[in-house]
Amino acid sequence: MTSTNPAAGDHRSTEPGADSTEARLAGLERTLAALAAEVASLRTELRTEPRDGARRFGYRPGSNSADRAPSARSSRGDRRRRDLAALDLEGLLGRYGMLIIAALAAAGAVGTFLSWAIGRGYLRFSPAARVAIGILVAAGVGAWGLRLRRRERSFGSSILGLALAIALVCAYAAGPAFKLVPLAVAFIGAAVISWALALFALHEQDEPLWCVGLAGAALAPFATSGGDGNVFALLAYGVIVTLPAGLAIAQRVWPVAWRLFYIVAALYTLAGAALGAERGIAGVVAALAFPFVIAVGAVVPFAPDQRKRGAVRWLVGLGLLGAAIMRVSATAVPFDMAAAMTGAMLAALAIVDSIADVPQSSIFAAWRAQLATLDWLDAAVLPSLFLYLFAGAALGASWHNALYTAGVLAFSVFSCRRALGALRDASAAAASLAALALVDAFHQTAPAHIAALVVAALVAFALHVARPSRGWMGGGAALMAIAAIDTVTALTSRAAYHFTPFTTTASLAAAAVLIGCIVIASFRGPIVDAARRARGNAPPRPDDASPDSTTTLRRALAAAPWVWAFVWVLIELSMAYSPSTSTLLLVVYFAATGVASVAAGRARQLGVLRKIGLGLALVAAATAIYGASTYFDFAARISAYLVTSVFLLGIAYWYRRPGAGIDGAGGVGEPAGVE
């Protein structure tokens, strides 16, 4: 034993086992200290984690308990998102799929019961009694859901959502189906129930509740339909149900809910399109308006930024699909129907313009090419398809050109409003295409048609200078190329050797193209500078001798008038007067242009022009030989040979003189300064 007398000092016991007992106590103390440190660390993490989660909702330390409520909801939402991400196909079907299918089946059962007596009289219940029974069923399901919420909050909330969906079925049956109450009263009741469902899901932060409620509500018109669908009532009900649903999923990452939202929008859009064409222009307008109303009323104000562009793109695509369905089902396309499609194009551009600055989904943030493709879909492809789907079929109607004019103006305004990027390029290209369609729609004579194309190209280049865009640049170049191709077709379509060169209407069209090329070449400096800004290139430094990326463009614009003039004169001379005269004129033309090219290349020290001149001189010689052996008589043969010889001797003399521009300052193989 250890002595208890302090005066005796600290004496250790001599009994066996004392040392082992003290060692065990020391080890126990160390273990307890380690456990205490771990518990303290866990407490620190537990105190920090909710506070960090709360800061995302604006919580600051020191706020009251009411301010801490969002942090609890956010932590529940975070856990739910993590749980959803961890679900496999089995879990996804079990938690969401089975619940939605069950809701649809229940709502379908109630709707089938309410519409059972249409065409049958097996039960003596009146329509009002059937609606009342449906309401009682909804009340019973709701009471069951309230009881379940005491033990299973999430599942009980879903059952309550099912009850509200059954009530929506009853509201639709009482109005459009059985006409027990006026449509306004039925729709007001449906609106109240839909908003109650949306606010309930919003308060509960429960995705399954929202899914069950929307699925059941969306099924109501189809479950109670008697086969004589009213497109206006159907689409009005769809708007009433879908708008509050958009509010409930505002700023939430609910992937299943958003997919269901897309499906419901597609269901009502396609159903409205199938019924709309049968009701005339009013039905067409209603069917077209539905996806745009949902986009404006539910997506633009409520959807998260990363989903806005994608959701709008989906709704506009649905509207386009519905338009295609109505286009196929319509036996004739009146002008008012085509005008409605043009209005849909304007609405699509306006909605995209309102959210153009919203960043796209982060899924595509790492791939710029995909983002540019989506921009082209939003600003060019989808809106243009609305225009061309119906405008082309309305060409026989009066004022049909107004449709293409509206397209040109809409795309041009949209492009000028946008900053540098794919949206501006896409809409500018779409405006150029609409301008081409507008010019073609007038069915003018060849000179007027080609002159209109040239004017449209000049306007595109002018807009490019004012608002630089590769779309305007490419559109203007394409319009000029089409004008040149149409002119060549008009020139070569004339009867050969039966006209005076440069005096036909096709010659006037060629002159219009030449004037356009000259104007573009005169303003090539601003055009090239704008192209550099559109590409994001900095201007070249004064001390930088290397050519910048727009040097080729500048040279092409400068050469365009000369190239076109050469082609025009070549076609005119190749069909002039007679085969013999035409060939002789071509010999002179090739030889003269060859000498002019060599002279210009020698003066400007441009090897390309000198080489072109040499090639044209060889072509002149070959043409002279061909004409002499095929068409020429004795006098023409001598003239052709003399002309070719004189011009070729002139070129050879230039190449023998100093300053030819090759092999130093002197001629070929001669030292500089030696003549």
Q: Is the pLDDT of residue 100 over 60?
A: no
The residue assigned the tokens 């192209």 is 531
Mean of pLDDT values over 118-124: 52
Return the pLDDT at 562.
92
Under the banding of pLDDT at 50, 70 and 90, the label for residue 435 is very high
Q: Is the pLDDT of residue 336 over 80?
A: no
Under the banding of pLDDT at 50, 70 and 90, the label for residue 101 is low
Asked if 111 and 217 touch (Cβ cutoff 8 Å), the reply is no
Instruction: With CA atoms as reference, report the closest residue to 275 among 336, 233, 308.
Output: 233
Amino acid at 458: L
Instruction: With CA atoms as reference, report the closest residue to 379 among 477, 309, 293.
Output: 309
Mean of pLDDT values over 532-542: 63
Return the pLDDT at 110.
56
Mean of pLDDT values over 268-285: 83
List the helix and strand counts (H, then E) for the chain: 26, 0
Roughly how many angstroms between the first and final C-alpha of the chain, as a whole number?
131
Under the banding of pLDDT at 50, 70 and 90, the label for residue 519 is very high
Contacts of 333 (CB under 8 A, 6+ apart): 327, 390, 393, 394
Whole-angstrom Cα distance, residue 340 to residue 285?
Answer: 6
Mean of pLDDT values over 393-399: 55
Under the banding of pLDDT at 50, 70 and 90, the label for residue 584 is confident
Cα separations in angstroms, 188 against 184, 238, 526: 6, 13, 61
Amino acid at 329: S
Q: Is the pLDDT of residue 481 over 50?
A: yes
Q: Is the pLDDT of residue 534 over 90?
A: no
Q: Is the pLDDT of residue 413 over 90?
A: yes
Q: Is the pLDDT of residue 514 over 90?
A: yes
More confident residue, 149 or 440: 440
Cα separations in angstroms, 93 against 87, 101, 115, 208: 9, 10, 30, 12
The helix or strand, by DSSP H or E, that contains position 568, with its residue range, turns out to be helix 551-574
Under the banding of pLDDT at 50, 70 and 90, the label for residue 488 is very high
Number of other residues whose CB lies within 10 A of the CB of residue 6: 7
For the ranges 292-306, 477-491, 522-536, 546-560, the maximum mean pLDDT occurs at 477-491
Mean of pLDDT values over 50-64: 39
CB environment 45-77: b (16+ within 10 A), e (fewer): eeeeeeeebbeeeebeeeeeeeeeebbeebeeb
Asked if 11 and 3 touch (Cβ cutoff 8 Å), the reply is yes
Return the pLDDT at 324.
87
Number of other residues whose CB lies within 10 A of the CB of residue 21: 11
**551-574 vs 524-535: helix crossing angle, rounded to 10:** 130
SS3 at position 671: coil
User: With pLDDT > 70 as the criterion, what percentage of the chain qualifies?
Assistant: 64
Asked if 497 and 523 touch (Cβ cutoff 8 Å), the reply is no
pLDDT in tens, 7-37: 444 444 444 444 566 666 677 677 777 767 6
Return the pLDDT at 454.
95
Whole-angstrom Cα distance, residue 249 to residue 255?
Answer: 10
Mean of pLDDT values over 490-494: 91
Mean of pLDDT values over 193-216: 72
Return the pLDDT at 545.
46
For the ranges 278-282, 431-435, 618-622, the maximum mean pLDDT occurs at 431-435
Q: Residue length, the chain?
A: 675
Q: Is the pLDDT of residue 120 over 70?
A: no
Whole-angstrom Cα distance, residue 573 to residue 318?
Answer: 56
- CA 328 to chain CA centroid, Å, is 24
Whole-angstrom Cα distance, residue 631 to residue 290?
Answer: 73
Asked if 506 and 490 touch (Cβ cutoff 8 Å), the reply is yes
Mean of pLDDT values over 366-375: 66
Q: Any idea where the domains of the chain sit in the sequence?
A: 72-228, 446-535+551-574, 577-675
Q: Is the pLDDT of residue 485 over 70?
A: yes
Tokens of 526: 């601003």
Q: Is the pLDDT of residue 369 over 60?
A: no
Number of other residues whose CB lies within 10 A of the CB of residue 256: 18
Q: Is the pLDDT of residue 201 over 90?
A: no
Under the banding of pLDDT at 50, 70 and 90, the label for residue 157 is low
pLDDT in tens, 415-433: 999 888 889 999 999 999 9
Instruction: With CA atoms as reference, report the closest residue to 299 among 350, 239, 260, 243.
Output: 243
Return the pLDDT at 136.
79
Mean of pLDDT values over 268-294: 86
Instruction: Judge if pTM exceeds 0.75.
Output: no
Under the banding of pLDDT at 50, 70 and 90, the label for residue 581 is confident
Amino acid at 26: A
Number of other residues whose CB lies within 10 A of the CB of residue 634: 8
Mean pLDDT of the chain: 74
Number of other residues whose CB lies within 10 A of the CB of residue 273: 28
More confident residue, 651 or 262: 262
Whole-angstrom Cα distance, residue 168 to residue 173?
Answer: 8
Q: Is the pLDDT of residue 456 over 60?
A: yes
Beta strand residue intervals within 188-302, DSSP E: none
Asked if 318 and 312 touch (Cβ cutoff 8 Å), the reply is no
Q: Is the pLDDT of residue 520 over 70?
A: yes
